[in-house]
Structure 1
Amino acid sequence: MNTSFFYQTFLTIHLSALAVMAGSTLINYLGFQTLWKLLPQDAIRAEGVLLFLSRFGRVIGIGAAVLIISGLGMMVLTKGVYGEQLWFRIKFAIVVFIVANVFVYRRRIAFKLQRLVDIDRAVLTGDLSYYRTQTRNFHILHFILFFVIITISVFKFN
C-alpha cells in the first residue's frame, strides 16, 4: 500500500467526520425547533426532546475527535505541507473554535436547561426566550462556520 491510499482514506474519514458534525448541528437545530414548538402546550414530550438534546453532544464530540485525528493523519502523510498555508491555519482555527464552542457554550445551555427541568418541570411552561435566543445564535454561528470551512477547503487560497 502506498501513501496515496492512506491519504485518500484519511481524507474520506475526515470529510465523513465533517459531515457528521455539520449534520449533527442540523439535527440539534431541528431538535431545538421541535422543543420550542412543543412548549408550553406539551411539556412531557418537550422534556423528552430536551433529554435527547442534552445527550446529543456526544455525537458531535465523536465527530470532532475523528475529524482532528484524521486531519492529523493527513498532516503526517503530507509532512505538514498544508500546515504552512494560510487557508489551512484559518480553517484549523475555526475547527478549534467550533469544538470549543460545542463543549463550552452548547453543553452549558443544554445542561442549564436540563437542570431547570430536573428541579421543576413547571419551568417548561414559563418564559424560556433566553434559551431560545442562545440556541438560535449558537446554530446560526455554527452553520456559518461550517460554510466558511467548506469554502476555504475548496478554494485553498494562499
Structure 2
Amino acid sequence: MKGINYEEKRDRWRCFHRRGNKALQPRFATEREAFWKKIEFCMEDHILPFAKNKKEGAKLKGSRALSNLPVGVRAYFSEGKQAHIVISSWTDENGAGEKYYHVTDMAKYEETIRKAAWLRFEKNWEYTLRAAEKFPPVNKTLLKKLRVNAERKLARELSDAFIIKTPAYNQND
C-alpha cells in the first residue's frame, strides 16, 4: 500500500507522508496503526491518501507551466478530432485507471472538467474505504472528516480553475 511500508530489519511498520518539503515517517508496531496515522495526516492536509496530490509541469514540449486544473485531470485539444480531450486518472488496487471525455461544445468544457475531477475523487474515495475495511475497527469519524476536508479542497481547486481573473487596477489613476 502506497505510503505504508514494513521494515524487516527493525520489525516495524512505517508511515510515509510528505507535508510541503518535509517528510514525516513515524514508525509503528502494527500495520493498522501506520494506516490510521496515514489517514490522520491526509485528513489534516485535506488530501485523499494513496492518490497523487502534487501538480506537475505541463505535458507539452517545452512548457513547464503548472496546469490550473485539479491534480489528476488533464485536458488538451485534439486537432484530428476537433475536440478538447479531458482525462481523469486515478490509481486503485487494480493499478492505474483513466476515463476520457471528448468535448466538442465549449459550453460544456467546464462541466466536463468538473465531472472528471469528481469522478477521480469518488474512485480514490472508494479505494480509501476498501483499504480502511482491512484495518478494523474502522474509524468512521476520521474518515468522515477526511472526506469533508478533501471535498472542500477539490471544490476550491475547481472554483479557482474557472474564476475569471481581472487585472488589478490602480485606483489613483
Same fold (TM > 0.5): no
Task: For CA contacts below 8 A with separation 6 or more, give which structure has more relative contact order.
Answer: 1
Hey, which of these two has a bigger chunk of helix by percent?
1
Normalised by the length of structure 2, the TM-score is 0.29
